[in-house]
């Protein structure tokens, strides 16, 4: 089933809508319960600190302990070229974070942007995959 940028299958929930923050309720794979006790939240933030290098921070969090939580941050120039990326996979946790920093200190061009990739796995539940997007302001 597809709704806007959200795709649901028997095993996955994939949300590719281009926003900086999104929250999804986990769904059981056996379909027994329509209500979920767990939610996951994905966020990406483009930061341009005054005294350090610009960076993209991706955070993946859940309201319960999960088998796997993954976060990847990707920093792009305005021309679409990848500046840097970072990724983290954590097991038996409810949080993961990754930070992609500019390789050049204090250099920021107004059209740079960042993506976050997020993955959540828990036995008995559909795997949730999010992609988040933000720009430097």
Residue 2 has pLDDT above 60, yes or no: no
CB atoms within 10 A of CB 116: 28
The proportion of the chain whose per-residue pLDDT surpasses 70, expressed as a percent, equals 90
What pLDDT score was predicted for residue 131? 98
109 — pLDDT class (breaks 50, 70, 90): low
CATH code of residue 101:
2.60.40
- pLDDT tens readout for residues 46-82: 998 777 788 999 999 999 999 999 999 999 998 999 9
Return the biggest CA–CA distance within the chain.
Answer: 52
Residue 37 has pLDDT above 90, yes or no: no
Structural domains counted in the chain: 1
Residue 106 has pLDDT above 60, yes or no: no
Cβ(54)–Cβ(136) below 8 Å: yes
What pLDDT score was predicted for residue 52? 76
* Full-model pTM: 0.91
3-state helix, strand, coil in the chain (%, to 5): 0, 60, 40
Distance CA 58, CA 86 (A): 9
Residue 59: helix, strand or coil by DSSP? strand
The proportion of the chain whose per-residue pLDDT surpasses 90, expressed as a percent, equals 69
Distance CA 124, CA 117 (A): 22
Domain that holds residue 6: 2-135
β-strand 55-76 against 2-3: which pairing, if any? unpaired
CB atoms within 10 A of CB 90: 15
Overall average pLDDT of the 98-109 stretch = 76
């Amino acid at each position: 089933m597809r709704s806007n940028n959200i795709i649901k299958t028997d095993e996955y929930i994939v949300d590719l809508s281009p926003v900086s923050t999104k929250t999804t309720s986990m769904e059981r794979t056996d379909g027994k319960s329509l209500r979920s006790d767990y939610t996951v939240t994905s966020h990406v933030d483009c930061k341009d600190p005054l005294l350090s290098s610009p960076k993209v921070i991706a955070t993946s969090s859940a309201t319960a302990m999960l088998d796997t939580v993954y976060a990847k941050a990707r920093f792009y120039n305005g021309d679409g070229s990848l500046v840097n990326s970072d990724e983290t996979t954590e097991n038996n946790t409810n949080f993961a974070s990754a930070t992609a920093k500019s390789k050049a200190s204090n250099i920021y061009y107004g059209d740079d942007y960042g993506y976050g990739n997020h993955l959540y796995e828990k036995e008995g539940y559909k795997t949730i995959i999010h992609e988040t997007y933000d720009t430097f302001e």
